[in-house]
Structure 1
Amino acid sequence: MAIAAQLKKVIFLDRDGVINRDSPDYIKTWDEFQFLPGSLEALRLLSQAGFRLIVITNQSIIGRGMVPLRVLEETHRKLKAAVSATGGDILDIFYCPHRPDEACDCRKPAPGLIQQACRRYGIDPVDSVMIGDSVKDMLCGCNAGCGTTILVRTGNGLRAEKELAELHIRPDMVAADLLDAARYLLGRAVSPDGRR
């Protein structure tokens, strides 16, 4: 399948705490959205190196009735436009709108969002990377069969690092932030046939 070959280098990214500042009050509108230092540069570098970027995010603000769906979708349109304006590209954004008590199969740590993306774009998850700042993100990557998991220390990352250690779960890499993770991925030697 041509699209599968095209999407060999795929990175799944959490949103809040990885790309933008998180908030205990949730990010409800674009006005509350603040890019973390270095995240736009990271997205640009990864895009220009041929990685396809897909955002995977829990957004229970919909299920909680805090904002209408159109407001979330507007935020995501503006996110993609801002990334594009700086030379990066977000292929798609998959989000779970459900509350934690709804027991859906798409809320991280469940693998449903990554599975949806894999079906839509013909992705083999073993060829993909999951980058996040929480235990849920790392478990989601593992549950979906992602080949590499990277924890960033921004957002909830420092707390997650301790919790993962207590659970004896080790991400493949712990990065200071998204830019640090990007530099790690760009620095890995990959041969023309895709072997490391």
Structure 2
Amino acid sequence: MGKHPAKRPAVFIDRDGTLIREKNYLSKIRDVRLIAGAVEALKLLRRAGYALIMVTNQSGIGRGYFTEEQLRKVHLHLSALLKKKGAALDAIYYCPHHPDEDCKCRKPGLGMVNAAKKEFNLDLRRSYAVGDHTNDFLLGQNMGGKGIFVLTGHGRRERKKIESSKGELSPDKTFRNLFAAAKWIARQ
């Protein structure tokens, strides 16, 4: 019997407002714009040994604003762009459901994380979730890892929600962007 590969940690990265510029219900390739420092962040995390998994809530599908085929084209374009820049993702997972649907995959639920854990043999306790919404850092905490909050995208607006929560919403760390978060994660 061969050995099972050792479990490795991952960084679960939000798409809109964290990896690419925020655009409500993005469904067109032309609207994909990387946030400054995102490529460098992915390269740094890859060198540090992390699996790079993008996880994104895409309720525009459930709302009827765009189709899964349109989303697939956007993700193929984004994947090719990152690969060309030497910063390929290991996988992309998305939740297509309307927020009112009772699904297990919508962040901060663990459906996407559990699928990635199974596919990539991940150690969730040594993993991180990074994003510009409370649901992103809550995902990290819900999986038993760390939840990192960034101030890009909706981050500044969401920070007000965190501050007014009187400690009920509390990320493990807050950084100005994905690159700053990646530098910290890579040192852990």
Normalised by the length of structure 2, the TM-score is 0.90
What SS does the corresponding residue of 2:94 show, helix, strand or coil?
strand
Cα distance in 2 between the residues matched to 1:142 and 1:148? 5
Letter in 2 for 1:2: H
Cα distance in 2 between the residues matched to 1:44 and 1:80? 14
Q: Is the 8 A contact 1:15 1:57 kept in 2?
A: yes
**Structure 1 stretches of at least 4 aligned residues deviating more than 3 Å after TM superposition:** none
1:12-31 equivalences in 2 (<5 Å): 12-23=12-23, 25-31=24-30
Identity of aligned residues (%): 37
For 2:142, the equivalent position in structure 1 comes to: 143
Q: Does 1:182 align with 2:179?
A: no
What SS does the corresponding residue of 2:113 show, helix, strand or coil?
helix
Over the residues paired in the alignment, what is the CA RMSD in angstroms? 1.6
For 1:115, the equivalent position in structure 2 comes to: 114
Deviation for aligned residue 1:17? 0.4
What SS does the corresponding residue of 2:170 show, helix, strand or coil?
coil
Deviation for aligned residue 1:161? 2.2
Structure 1: stretches of 5+ with no match in the other structure: 189-196
Deviation for aligned residue 1:80? 1.3
What SS does the corresponding residue of 2:33 show, helix, strand or coil?
coil
Letter in 1 for 2:68: L
User: Which of 138, 160, 163 is the aligned partner of 2:161?
Assistant: 163
For 1:50, the equivalent position in structure 2 comes to: 49
For 2:102, the equivalent position in structure 1 comes to: 103
For 2:11, the equivalent position in structure 1 comes to: 11
Cα distance in 1 between the residues matched to 2:13 and 2:45? 12
Cα distance in 2 between the residues matched to 1:126 and 1:64? 34
Structure 2: stretches of 5+ with no match in the other structure: none
| Cα displacement string for residues 56-86 of structure 1 (whole angstroms, at most 9, x for unaligned residues) | 1001121122222122111111111111111
Q: Is the 8 A contact 2:105 2:112 kept in 1?
A: yes
Which piece of structure 1 moves more, 84-93 or 114-123?
Answer: 114-123
